Structure 1
Amino acid sequence: MDRRTAREEAFKYLFQLDINDDQTMNSEKMDPFMKKIVTGVNQHKEAIDQLIRKHLENWSFDRIALVEKTILRIAAYEITYEDDIPVGVSINEAVELAHTYGDEKSSKFINGVLSKIIF
């Protein structure tokens, strides 16, 4: 599984985990990169959410749709905790996920928040 696919599968898994809080992680079947993202986002969720909150303008964290929130969490995790992933790649992948799973405004919103995080 390539990293883009693993990232997309991690997105789906984390999204589902937020909906069904009682899910347990079956890491035996997970791609190593997917597992790294899922585990990292879950371990650092509070810090990641605070980072996102800090960089929102005229927007409440609670108002962010779960699709965008999950995408932001993955990208913020990568930017903050994964030194081997270039920041531009994390942002680009997040924007691509937003194009696929969000609405017509999602990608601009994701790009705007992530741009504030990196500067």
Structure 2
Amino acid sequence: MSPTPKRREGRRLAMLAIFAQNVADYDLPLTLSLMRDMNPKWQTLPPFTVALCEAVERHREAISVTLAGILEHWKLDRVAPVERAILQLACAEIDYFPDIPPRVTITEYLELAKAYAPEQAPGFINGILDRLVHMRGKEDFQAGKIIRRAGH
């Protein structure tokens, strides 16, 4: 299996875990333990899943502040739990996984939104993540192509 499908599945499982945390307010070890108990295939969660979840857990406050600044007229807790989990994970990946290009991150989380969130959610998520990437100065987007800024 190539790294892309492994990471895609890792993101999906991380989204399920962070969603569960957003709904049930469990800590991360309990959430991951419950996931392992629910499905024999999840006895050994992919390292990428655990790393993403740990990044959200470790940087939850910073991620919340970042997203609140982008959401402007919304409070993060008003965003539906699935969309909130997707945004939290994407923000963590953009900020704390520098080896993954932000455009790849956005594309992958939009696919999760299409699969798990209401029809209008991908547009909402795309707008927020594009603003995050531009705010961070990580990339310029021109004519659908990504141009890396010097020094980034």
Please confirm whether the aligned pair reaches a TM-score higher than 0.5, indicating the same fold: yes
Instruction: Mark the runs of 5 or more structure 2 residues left unpaired by the alignment.
Output: 37-42, 135-152
Moved over 3 A (4+): 25-28
Q: How many aligned positions are there?
A: 119
Whose strand proportion is higher, 1 or 2? 2
- The separation in 2 between residues aligned to 1:59 and 1:20, in whole angstroms, is 21
1:37 aligns with 2:52: yes
TM norm structure 1: 0.92
Identity of aligned residues (%): 36
Distance in structure 1 (CA, Å) of the matches to 2:121 and 2:47: 28
Q: Deviations over 1:1-59 (max 9, x none)?
A: 71001110110011112222235133872210101001111111110011011111433
Report the counterpart of residue 74 of structure 1 in structure 2.
89
Determine the structure 2 residue equivalent to 1:118: 133
Higher-Rg structure is 2
Select which of 90, 110, 119 maps to 1:95. 110
Unaligned runs of 5+ in 1: none
TM-score (norm 2): 0.73
Q: How much does 1:63 deviate?
A: 1.7
Q: CA RMSD in A?
A: 1.7
**Higher RCO (C-alpha 8 Å, min separation 6):** 1
